[in-house]
Amino acid sequence: MKTYSFQVVIEEDEWLDERIKDPVWRAYIPALVHQGASSWGYTQKEALKNLQDAVDLLFEYLSEQEKEIDLERLGLL
């Protein structure tokens, strides 16, 4: 099993409906965002957990398709 290490960004975001003032958090991996490695949550912790779930599903899918992350194309090598 390979181990990867990616930068994670967590930032406060806003609802599209400006009447809602409660904070919402966005979490994403810039190198993998085009493959669906992004999520959100009502708290930073929830956003990070949801991101982890999305990444787990992404790598499960890639494994099933017998594909790997192209680190060179992502500029990570």
**pLDDT tens track for 47-74:** 999 999 999 998 888 888 777 776 666 6
The answer as to whether 4 is a domain residue is no
Please compute the mean of the pLDDT values over residues 35-46 and round it to a whole number. 92
- Overall domain count for the chain: 1
The answer as to whether 55 is a domain residue is yes
Of 3, 6, 46, 7, the residue nearest 26 (C-alpha): 46
Cα 12 to the chain's mean position, in Å?
Answer: 15
The answer as to whether 76 is a domain residue is no
pLDDT of residue 3: 77
Return d(Cα 3, Cα 40) in angstroms, integer: 24
Domain span including residue 54 = 9-64
The answer as to whether 72 is a domain residue is no
The answer as to whether 69 is a domain residue is no
pLDDT of residue 8: 95
pTM: 0.79
**Is 70 exceeded by the pLDDT of residue 44?**
yes
The answer as to whether 73 is a domain residue is no
Return d(Cα 52, Cα 37) in angstroms, integer: 8
Please compute the mean of the pLDDT values over residues 20-48 and round it to a whole number. 90
